Amino acid sequence: KAGVTQTPRYLIKTRGQQVTLSCSPISGHRSVSWYQQTPGQGLQFLFEYFSETQRNKGNFPGRFSGRQFSNSRSEMNVSTLELGDSALYLCASSLGLGGTGELFFGEGSRLTVL
């Protein structure tokens, strides 16, 4: 079955702009989580969505937001981009309830802010 799909894979923005990233989870998975990966900080949890509701949020400013649609697809948005937002943004899906709980990651969207 198809894995987690993230689009776009690469993008370049300038400071002050906003960006929207998309994630399609594995079919049947209802939980989608987002992570930011940077060389200095490793993987840091942004937020998790389940059944269109945000269940958990990491320690990121309000410029980072997300949503989940009824088909479990998710988007995350970053407004007023800063240079420090340059990172690999990873989406992960899981069943959400039951199952073994492992997260399945997409290949990521690499954002460069100039």
| List of residues contacting other proteins (CB under 8 A) | 4, 31-33, 35, 41-45, 48-50, 55-56, 58, 90, 92, 94-108
Q: Give whichever of 27 and 38 is closer to other proteins, judged by the CB atom.
A: 38
Closer CB to other proteins, residue 15 or residue 55? 55
Q: Considering the complex, what minimum distance in angstroms separates the CB of residue 80 from other proteins? A: 25
| Closer residue to other proteins in complex, CB, 48/85 | 48
Long-range CB contacts (within 8 A, 24+) of 80-83: 80/16, 80/18, 81/13, 81/14, 81/15, 81/16, 81/17, 81/18, 81/19, 81/113, 82/15, 82/113, 83/15, 83/113, 83/114
Least distance between other proteins and beta carbon 35 (Å): 8
Residue 50 bridge partners (DSSP): 31, 53
CB of 10 to other proteins, least distance (A): 10
Cα angle value 37/78/49 (rounded, 5°): 75
Shortest Å distance, C-beta 89 to other proteins:
11
